[in-house]
Amino acid sequence: MKELVASFTAQLRQAVEIGEKATFTAPSNPIRNVLITGLGGSGIGGSIITQIIDQEIKVPVMVNKDYFIPAFVGQDTLVIVSSYSGNTEETLAALEMAMARKAKIVCVSSGGKVVEIAKANGFDHIIIPGGMPPRACLAYSFTQLFYVLHGFQLINDSFKADFETSIHLLDHEEEHVCSEAYYLAEKLHKKIPVIYSQANFEAVCVRFRQQINENSKMLCWHHALPEMNHNELVGWTIPNDKLAVVFFRNETDYDRTKARMELTKSIVTKYTPNIFEVYSKGATQLQRSLYLIHFGDWVSWYLSEIRNIDATEVKVIDFLKGELSKI
């Protein structure tokens, strides 16, 4: 897993090369909405991109993480099917429903049944490198989402320069990122992490939480401001030094949200001494998101090392899938 985390920018470079070669067929109907369907490491990219492009894209975009798809999906829907293995049962069920609705379908996968179905039905598809844990290949699947949306003229091509800048930024900052990530991992050891951010970075928090779950084999939770100020904040009533709060922050956070962060921090500090702030780097939301994603990935790996556990294995998920296959 360490090698895969360290290869993040190399994956981004290769992902861009793959995206540049992708071609798409024109839809029969104008695209009026988009559904990105996928789960786990293949699905989180959809959540992240929707928060990055929501001030640019002019049609609604929804992320689906279930067997079923929403009623609005039809012939004017672009359905992006993301399954790293190509065999995710929920995603295959959603793909079948999208086919029945005659949606415009594009598949992103390393192979499996998804690619088989795409080839058999003439669906546009992008094949990414396989054989790795899906969560360690976010760079491949996430990047393709931009190329698909651009291919259907739903977003402009500014993301290309952003990816290039992000690669240079992360390469330049790698030593610093690793150092700070190790420091935070030490502080989170034997704690329950609580991750907070501004609302438009919530998906990045979810990614961090998922990485702690799978790589570090730990429970944690997250929330986003300002919504957190309307409910969870009231739950902070009992001192608990087993909780460790991590604020993902950006210099560009909205002023009112910055004020809420400071006030929230002052309240939470009364109940746990373990408060940490991580500031992103980068000029755009995509650049800042990639920075925080890479930082969080390193934290999750360092935690696995500190805890002396295998970051790669997911035996309980394998067990669950095995039991489901018997039903």
Residues 229 and 10: their CA atoms lie apart, in Å, by: 39
Residues 314 and 133: their CA atoms lie apart, in Å, by: 9
E strands present in 70-130: 77-83, 104-109, 124-127
Residues 200 and 226: their CA atoms lie apart, in Å, by: 10
Residues 168 and 174: their CA atoms lie apart, in Å, by: 10
Contacts of 116 (CB under 8 A, 6+ apart): 86
SS3 at position 61: strand
Q: Could you tell me whether strands 104-109 and 124-127 are parallel, antiparallel, or unpaired per DSSP bridges?
A: parallel
Closest CA to 264 of 237, 292, 226, 209: 226
Within a 13 Å sphere around the CA of 68, how many CA atoms are in the beta-carbon half? 3
Q: Could you tell me whether strands 104-109 and 221-225 are parallel, antiparallel, or unpaired per DSSP bridges?
A: unpaired
Residues designated as active site: 214, 230, 321
Residues 245 and 265: their CA atoms lie apart, in Å, by: 9
Task: Give the count of beta carbons closer than 10 Å to the beta carbon of residue 137.
Answer: 24
